[in-house]
Structure 1
Amino acid sequence: MSSHHHDTATGENELERLLKLAVTEPAHRPAFFRELLDATVLILGDSEQVQHGGDITLNADTPVNIQHWEKQDGGSIIPFFSSVEALQKAVEDEQPFIAMPARVLFEITQGADLFLNPKAEYGKEFYPEEVAMLLATGGVAKPAERYIDKDTQILLGQPEEYPSAMVDALTTLFSQRKPVRRAFLALMHDQAVDEKPNLLVGLEVDGELAEIEALINEAGSVASETAPDDEPVDFCLVSEKERGVSHYLITHTQPFYQRRWGSWLRNIIPSTDKTQ
C-alpha cells in the first residue's frame, strides 16, 4: 500500500505529483498507473456505514455504498480522491468518506465510469475498458506479441522523419527504469506481414523476466500515445551475441538512449575512510 508521502513545499502527495506530470507527458503515465494501483484513495460513502462501521478491512466482496455523481450528459460517474484536500475541494459541505485501496475500488466497481479528483486542476476519468486493462496488465495498453521465423527476410533502415516526440517520451521513461541499458531506433518492414514499414525500438536490457515484460508493456503504452500518425511500433530485445536485427541495430545505428553508469555506481562503490 502506498505511503502517500507529501511534498511539504507543494502539499501534494506522490500520486498527485505523478498525475500532474501524466496529464501532459505520456512518459510519466506508467509510473502514475503503478502508483495509483498501490495507493489508498478516498470515496464518498454512506454516512451510516462510516459512523458505525469502525475499522473495516475492505476487499472486493465487501458491500459498500458508494456515491455516484451525475455527469452533464446525464450519465453516472463515481468520484474518488487522492487526498482529503482533493476531496474537500470537490464538495461544498462535510461529507462522509471511506479510505480503500484503489485496486479494490476498481474491482468492486467494474463496468462503471470513475473520475479521480473531479473539480481539481488535474484529474483523470477512467472508463470501464481502461479499468479492466489496468487490473489485468497494470497499464492501459497491452502490446501484441509475435514471433519472427529466423528465415524471414526483413528490410531494415532509418525513418525519413525522426519521431522526436516518441523518442523523447521513451527516453524519459527509460531513465526511470533500471533494466534498460541502451535503446535503438530503426524502420522495419516484414513484407510477409505488413503493408508498410513500422518503427522498431530495440532494447538492450538486464533484469528479471517479469520486470522486462512490465517495461515493454509500459514502453508500448508510451509509444502508442506518441508515435507519429498513431502508427504501430514494434519492440524487440537486442544482444551483442545475436545476429540479424540485433547486429544491425548495435553495429549500424547509434542508441538514442544509453544508461548513465555513474548514477548507479555511486550507490555501489563504498567510500574509503582515510581518517585512520
Structure 2
Amino acid sequence: MWGCKMYNKSLEITLEELLEKAFEQVTYRPQFLQQLLDSYIYILGTSAESISEHIEHTLKEGSEVQIKQWQKKDGTFFFPFFTSLERLQKTIRNNENYLRINTRSFFELTFGSHVVLNPYSEIGKEFLPAEIAGLLNGDFGLRPDAEELSIDPNTQLSHPSPYPINMVEQIKILLQVNHAVSFAYLAQVMDEKHATKSSLVIGLQLSQVLTEHEKQQLYRQVKQTATDSLLQKKTVELVFVDANDQTALGQYLLHQTQPFYLRQDDKKKGFFATLFN
C-alpha cells in the first residue's frame, strides 16, 4: 500500500529520498522502513508542555500526549504523520500544534490503528496494524534455517513455473550491496494434495558469520523485496543454507538447482581456480 524530522537536515533528505526510491523500486523499501523506524517524524497533537503554545515540541520518554486523528471520506479514522515539517505545513490549513516524536514510539502509541505517512501528498504510505506489528517485532516470522521449514512426503520441489523474473532481478539488485551472501537459490514448493497451490522458497548461503540481529535484518529485507516484487502473488519463504546442509530442502537447493545470484568475488575465485588449479 505504497501511495521525521531528523536531528540532521541531511538525514531528513536521505529519508525523503529513500521514500521516493521506495515508490520507484521495491529494493529500497526495506532500507526505507528500517530508517523510518529509527527516525523522528512530525505528528499533529499536544503534550502537557505544548498545550497552550503553537510551537514545536520534541516528546520525551514518559510524556503525556494527545494525537489528532483525521477522517477519510468513507468515515474511517487514521493518524497522520509526516517525514518533515514542510510536508506537514503544506497539508494543514490553520495553525495547529505539532510534535516531533520517534517513529517507533509513535507506532507503539497508536498500535492497533491505521496510520498514514504524508497523507494527501504525492508520496505517502498507509500502514495497517499487522504491518506495524511486524515492523515493531522486527522478525517478520523469521525462519533462520532450512530444517525449520518442514518438507513432508507430500511436498514436491521443482523449478518455478512461471519463473518470477521480476522478483529475481530485484533480489539480485538488493544482494549486490550485501556482501554477506555468496549464493541465492530458488525453488517452487507444491503440496500434491493441493496441486493448484504453490509457494516459493529462497535459500541464502552466507559467506560470513552473522549475528542473529544481522540475519534477522537480512531476512526482512529479502523477504519484503521478494513479496513486493512478485507480479503473481504467492507465499514466499526464505531459509539460510550452508554447504553441509543435510535437510531435504537444503540438499535440493544446493545440488539440484543453479543459484540465481552469485557474488562477484565468488565468480572471480571460480574463474581463477579453473585456470590455475
TM-score, structure 2 length as denominator? 0.76
| Alpha-carbon distance change, 256 to 91 in structure 1, aligned in 2, over 3 angstroms | same
CA contact (8 A) 2:57 2:99 kept: no
Which amino acid in 1 is paired with 2:141? K
Q: How many matched pairs?
A: 255
Equivalent residue for 2:262, pick from 258, 261, 267:
258
1:172-191 CA-partner distances (Å, limit 9, x unpaired): 33234343221112223465
CA contact (8 A) 1:240 1:247 kept: no
- In the alignment, the residues of structure 2 paired with residue 77 and residue 40 of structure 1 have an alpha-carbon distance, to the nearest angstrom, of 19
Q: For residue 99 of structure 2, give the secondary structure of its aligned residue in structure 1.
A: strand
Matching residue of 2:272: none
| Alpha-carbon distance change, 74 to 149 in structure 1, aligned in 2, over 3 angstroms | closer
- In the alignment, the residues of structure 2 paired with residue 54 and residue 187 of structure 1 have an alpha-carbon distance, to the nearest angstrom, of 52
| Alpha-carbon distance change, 92 to 126 in structure 1, aligned in 2, over 3 angstroms | same
- In the alignment, the residues of structure 1 paired with residue 236 and residue 192 of structure 2 have an alpha-carbon distance, to the nearest angstrom, of 16
1:182-206 CA-partner distances (Å, limit 9, x unpaired): 1112223465898754322111013
| Alpha-carbon distance change, 86 to 187 in structure 1, aligned in 2, over 3 angstroms | same
Deviation at 1:4, TM superposition (A): 4.7
* Structure 1, gaps ≥5 residues long: 263-276
* Structure 2, gaps ≥5 residues long: 267-277
Deviation at 1:163, TM superposition (A): 0.3
Greater per-residue strand proportion: 2
Matching residue of 1:34: 34
- In the alignment, the residues of structure 1 paired with residue 194 and residue 41 of structure 2 have an alpha-carbon distance, to the nearest angstrom, of 45
With a CA cutoff of 8 Å and minimum separation of 6, indicate the structure with the bigger relative contact order: 2
- In the alignment, the residues of structure 1 paired with residue 73 and residue 187 of structure 2 have an alpha-carbon distance, to the nearest angstrom, of 46
Which amino acid in 1 is paired with 2:83? S
- In the alignment, the residues of structure 2 paired with residue 131 and residue 160 of structure 1 have an alpha-carbon distance, to the nearest angstrom, of 33
Which amino acid in 2 is paired with 1:212? K
**Identity rate of aligned residues, in percent?**
31
TM-score, structure 1 length as denominator? 0.76
Matching residue of 1:124: 125
Matching residue of 2:99: 98
Map 1:1-276 onto structure 2 (within 5 A): 3-6=7-10, 13-46=13-46, 48-49=50-51, 51=53, 57-59=59-61, 61-137=62-138, 141-142=140-141, 147=148, 155-189=156-190, 191=192, 196-205=197-206, 206=208, 207-243=210-246, 244-261=248-265
Which amino acid in 2 is paired with 1:46? T
Which amino acid in 2 is paired with 1:110? F
Deviation at 1:75, TM superposition (A): 2.2
Deviation at 1:72, TM superposition (A): 1.5
Which amino acid in 1 is paired with 2:253? L
Deviation at 1:84, TM superposition (A): 1.6
- In the alignment, the residues of structure 2 paired with residue 218 and residue 67 of structure 1 have an alpha-carbon distance, to the nearest angstrom, of 32
| Alpha-carbon distance change, 181 to 112 in structure 1, aligned in 2, over 3 angstroms | same
Deviation at 1:218, TM superposition (A): 3.0
